[in-house]
Chains A and B, each alone.
Chain A
């Protein structure tokens, strides 16, 4: 037996979450051929089908592109530092792609490996990730090559899978997922299915030894010369996590903020 939820019931749940004051982030169809993870204002905005991947990643729900670290105020010779308040809004990520969700456990390591990043961890605690297994893939997909698959539950609190009758199977992965869907699903004899996923394109085990032999090969510039040095790959990547810190404001008050940064930028890590 599986647990299922109908799509209208899922949309009613979205409405409930929004009424409870939660922030709901889901794929939104902005215009034809353009789907982006965005905070939704209503359940009708959630796009559950008709696209392969949203154009951005969902790392932003736990690692915003812009975040205040503290504020400063200068009065005469006195400088006050005011800590930025920690986030306190619960969030639900709905219909994330499994490849996006799989990034969360990786980011967890990065933001906790030597010091615990307070804002990141707070956001992570406040976030429940509901993933929708992929039924389609395109020429750019490569999850199977990196050890994942269209119904990979890594990083998800609950995983949804399309059932042939149009409902969604709900597989709760963590307690957070359980409590989000408690009492909202029905038992069914049918189970959901993901698509087959893209063909495996390479054996990752071989890449290490291959690179050792090919590190200095003259063919590389043919590839690297195409790169124009923008940050689109890093900013769209669910696991790229570099940030820069800057002071914004004037001589009497302002804030120290952190902004996404990218190793592709010419000024990356060039500190004064």
Chain B
């Protein structure tokens, strides 16, 4: 798959379809692949594709330094691609101005890969490789959070206290999240302060709960936040819980249907809540 990937990227750069390819590079096998931004056709040899390409690169599409490089092509997996769908629905990207290179993926040995139903990208402009998408019933996809919810409230609170005690508020979760794109995050508002900026248990609960709510029904479960958390906090659990709520109550899975109406971003005159009218 690597050769077709490199050839595709070379062609896109050579014929001027795109000015930059956002993909994976890797110096040595012992160190994870990192994002590369290829602007010259002769540099496509830097691109790699292997079972260590866990990172979701979509956030880079929103970075002004990358936007300044010109029209992009981006390498995505079926799971990452869902973030593109949401970004388009939320008017953050113009899909016609991005070439999406979807990679068939057999899994990256991460927890979400065990319940993946997006091995084969569905919305890419160019797809490389061929694999099959298995159906994953909801009970399997949410097993992790369901098992957690079976514990009594006291153990769950104790778990989150121990986890969030470690949060240092580096905001890596926010910075790496493809769907955290506010120009000014609520935690950075300091005149007046909206949220404790302190990395105390109270401040950390406030931060993670707010972030989770802001991502409710939007998070696509790419696990980028869990992956970058330097304290190893299982943020996936929070996200799964919100995703389960949105699927159970609204039959909605973010990033799976470009035509679907957003739960939080759509209203109708017929909505029962008065504040809408």
Contacts and interface: CB of A to CB of B under 8 A. Distances in A.
Nearest to B196: A248
Nearest to B172: A230
A55 B230 contact: yes
A34 B232 contact: yes
B217 to A, nearest CB: 24
Contact of B63 (A38, A56, A222, A225): A225
A225 B230 contact: no
A259 B197 contact: yes
A184 interface: no
Contacts of B35: 225-226
Interface stretch (A88-96, A170-178, A260-268): A260-268
A140 B31 contact: yes
B170 interface: yes
B190 A234 contact: no
Contact of A66 (B34, B65, B199): B199
Interface in B187-207: 188, 190-191, 193, 196-200, 203
B41 to A, nearest CB: 16
B193 A65 contact: no
A260 to B, nearest CB: 7
Contacts, number: 89
Interface string B163-190: 0001011111011100000000000101
Interface string A20-31: 000000000011
Contacts of A40: none
A221 B175 contact: no
A221 B20 CA distance: 13
A231 interface: yes
Interface in A243-258: 244, 246, 248, 257
Contacts of A262: 170
B66 interface: yes
Contacts of B188: 266-267
B37 interface: yes
B59 interface: yes
A248 B28 contact: no
Contacts of A140: 31
B145 interface: no
A224 B37 CA distance: 11
A232 B30 contact: no
Interface of A: 30-31, 34, 36, 38, 55-56, 65-66, 138-140, 221-222, 224-226, 228-232, 234-236, 244, 246, 248, 257, 259-260, 262, 265-267, 272
Interface of B: 28, 30-31, 34-37, 59-60, 63, 65-66, 166, 168-172, 174-176, 188, 190-191, 193, 196-200, 203, 228, 230-232
